[in-house]
Structure 1
Amino acid sequence: MECYGGQSYRTPHLNELARTGMKFNHAYSMPVCHPSRLTLMSGRYPFRHGHVPWGDYPKDAEDQTFSRLLQTAGYTNGIAGKWQLCLLRDDPLHPQRIGFDQSDLFGWHEGPRYYEPMIYTNGSVRDDTLGHYGPDLYQRSLIEFMKANRDRPFLAYYSMAVAHEVTDDLDPPVPHGPFDRYDNYAEMVAEMDRGVGRMVAALDALKLRENTLILFLADNGTPPEIIIRADGKELVRTPVVSRRNGLDVPGGKKQLTNAGTNVPMIANWPGTISPGQQVDDLVDFSDILPTFLDLAGVPLPSELKLDGVSFANRLRGQGASPRSFVYCEEAVLPKPGGVEPDGESSGLKWVRTQAWKLYNDGRLFHMAEDPVEQYPLAAEQDNSTRKMIRQKLQREFERLGF
């Protein structure tokens, strides 16, 4: 994104949200989408849920999602785009069960998400998508949802399909676009930015901008490659390398590095968030649930034990987030062509501050000086300062239960 120093893609609508709002420099996701979304919905890190199959959601946590808790407090919730918390053909009303009143979601590992998409509307497959482009339909769905609910509290979750490659395990492969190929990464970034602009324009038209928090964030880093076309059953991939601050940066999705986990986050709320702010507060995906409840004036259930902390005061201009570290874990990915991975942590984890990162295998990195992690610092190399930092981060591991 240009507002983060990107030089490969135009992102004018996101630039404007950053210019007139608040840009976070230290927001962190998991390295891939499913564990990020599990953390987002629950306010708890993936390991807290035990063994969760890839693309699933723990049954015992369904009543404790941010959407369910807001719904209980009187919010009406709509979602459109990507789900990936179940196979909808097996559980078509899953989104409704965990707190969404309206849903338009593509069938993950069931059909296309872009051209001629397979979309479930409130649990039923639509029959009117032939010739349509998925992101247009997802945006229209949420705009109509906001129009219908403009006079009551609502949450509109635009879970964007872009920028992400097409589903890779269907036979035959999903349809090409109008250029007899799939969208390239630059085209997807342009569509993502256009979609953001369309949603903002809808809020303006509905006269809801000053009463609505817009929160934009990514669920993992840029992919290292994407599928660009299908030659019969063979899928042809192309690398993704982006220019940022004068450097070529390969996509880092699936990695525990900054390129895989340090994601953009922009908050915009005219009249509440002062424009032009850039903050270094630590934020991770577990913080979204408590922040949303804090902003909505909804007390956290006493039995709900969270990893997240609210950064609502930062948004209100009342002080920085109290978070002192963020956490990330590596996840086992699906086998190529399959949807039945085990989804458990592979063991590699880190805790970090803005300047320092400690892995559970003992490697310490001074991220302020070594952002691409070329020079691991072993314990026997520690001076008194590094020893103190290592001990502090190790205590955070211990507080997490490791």
Structure 2
Amino acid sequence: MSDLQTLKLLRTLLPLFFAISAGSASWALEKASSTQPNIVFILADDVGREVLGCYGGTSYQTPHLDKLASDGIRFEHCYSMPVCHPSRTTLLSGRYPRNNGNPAWGSYPENMESKTFAQILKRAGYKTAIAGKWQLCMMDNKRDHAARLGFEQSSLFGWHEGARYHDPFIYQNGELLEGTEGKYGPDLYVDFLIDFIEKNQQGPFFAYYSMALCHDVTDDLKEPVPYGPRGRYDNFAEMADQMDEEIGRLITALDLMNLRENTLILFTTDNGTPKKSKLTYDENGKFTYENVVSEFHGKMIPGGKGDLTDWGTRVPLIANWTGHIEGGEVCDDLIDFSDFLPTFAEIASADLPEDLTLDGQSFAKRITSGTANPRQWVSAESRGNKYFYKDRTWKLYNDGRFFNCEKDPFEKKPLNVTELEADAEASYSDLSKLISNSDEIKEE
């Protein structure tokens, strides 16, 4: 064959080769996408496990969450931080605050912005959105902050800038949303996510519903935020009922779009129930409060938000995935908030950054195949370098206090560590090593 004939043959075959290659690449991408489920992550605000009926609470109405649990997995040992901001930074980073630079209140480490779970999923082909609470900056100063951390779409109330509920003050994709007078914030956040899901229902998508409910109203503005139609702020019971209704709206939308079989829903909360909640204010801007006490397995439980006890850190966790989770399972695996990032990454078949050091361990296989999570302990912390490690029964604080949380859930009486029985002594030894290792890391 002459050189001229060879060139003519190549001109004929090359377009066909590239067409076949492009088609193969497109097919491979489509096949990869089909194995990546959509993820809806719901984080309620200030809701302890005693609030949910499926956990044994009887003071509130939570039928949609109870249904999610009965058709999914209800986890008994999930641990958050005792207050909102450190819970959120831990979720996003997969690292405990003490191992993540101890971010200042209302901030996020700039050197970690490219390594959030949203960034990781976005690089894996997911469309990402968040609605509701942000709390990682003053929005007016950093309107692109959610986008910088990996959320392509956002609808977030201005934290300490305005109302989150009635006549809400909302930044939508970095711009102040107009026409919110007479509107109810939680309705708008869910509307935003439903619209996002509808536009991206071919998937994969990650929708993060970071709820305003059931936190009470902002209290440090020049003028108190507006009352609702009741002529006062909603009480905790009303907010708890509304929380469940808003979640029900989101689930119904997924049903109507026939997305449930390809959508993992995870529900948890950022910390325990508050001790009190605002109801009214007077002409001087002074607030009145209600005490929040909930019935749980026949006992009246005061809110534990802010405490490192189980009532401040042991939170509900529900996983629901139609056709993939059999339902009715109650799981005793140990999970804490550093575990969510690696779990999202494994579920999404997403690569983790090579330079990302995690505190968390994925519990994805518990969801996908029923394989137990290998964790033997969990950890949580509060400001002032106070933290603990615990297993299902025993808890050791870094100040040396040691408790049996099954017998002493309110941690009234620390155990004498010189008089421990064999099982307690074994746990004390294991947890002490973790405390020592954490202190060494902190000193480095």
- Per the normalisation by structure 2, the TM-score is 0.86
Residue 418 of structure 2 is matched in structure 1 by: 380
Deviation track 1:100-139 (CA, whole Å, cap 9, x = no partner) reads 1110000000000000000000101011100000000000
* AA at the equivalent of 1:40: L
SS at match of 2:344: helix
Query: Which residue of structure 2 lines up, in the alignment, with residue 35 of structure 1?
Result: 86
Any idea what the Cα deviations from partners look like across 1:163-198, whole Å, max 9, x if unmatched? 000001011100011111000000000110001111
Of the candidates 268, 272, 282, which is equivalent to residue 231 of structure 1? 282
2:393 corresponds in structure 1 to 355
User: Which letter maps to 1:325?
Assistant: W
- Whole-angstrom distance in 2 between the partners of 1:252 and 1:102: 33
Provide the secondary structure at the position in 2 that maps to 1:380.
coil
Aligned to 2:237: 186
The correspondence for 1:309, drawn from 361, 376, 380, is: 361
Give the structure 1 partner of residue 345 of structure 2. Answer: 293
2:9 corresponding residue in structure 1 = none
Counterpart secondary structure, 1:379: coil
Corresponding residue SS for 2:356:
coil
Aligned residue pairs total 388
1:80 aligns with 2:131: yes
CA apart distance, 1:152: 2.1
Identity value in percent: 50
SS for the counterpart of 2:385 is: strand
2:74 equivalent to 1:23: yes
| Structure 2: distance between partners of 1:5 and 1:321 | 24
Q: Secondary structure at the match of 2:418?
A: helix
Q: Quick one: which amino acid aligns to residue 119 of structure 1?
A: I
TM-score, length-scaled by structure 1 = 0.95
Alignment check: 8 A CA contact 1:29 1:261 kept: yes
Q: Tell me how far apart the structure 2 counterparts of residues 362 and 381 of structure 1 sit (CA, whole Å).
A: 14
* 1:299-328 Cα shifts (integer Å, max 9, x gaps): 222211000000000001241111111011
Query: Which residue of structure 1 lines up, in the alignment, with residue 305 of structure 2?
Result: 253
Correspondence for 1:7: 58
CA distance in 1, matches of 2:249, 2:309: 32
Letter in 1 for 2:212: A
Take 1:81 and 1:385, find their aligned partners in 2: how far apart are those partners? Answer: 44
Long gaps (5+) in structure 2: 1-51
Q: Is the Cα–Cα contact under 8 Å of residues 157 and 163 in structure 2 kept in the other structure?
A: yes
Deviates more, 1:277-286 or 1:385-394: 385-394
Of structures 1 and 2, the larger Rg is shown by: 2
**5+ residue gaps in structure 1?**
332-345
CA distance in 2, matches of 1:383, 1:271: 45
Structure-2 residue corresponding to 1:342: none
Find 1:115's aligned residue among 141, 166, 170. Answer: 166
Which whole-Å CA distance do the structure 2 matches of 1:18 and 1:58 have between them?
35
2:293 equivalent among 241, 248, 254: 241
What's 1:338 paired with? none
SS of the counterpart of 1:77?
Answer: strand
Give the C-alpha shift of residue 347 in structure 1.
Answer: 2.3
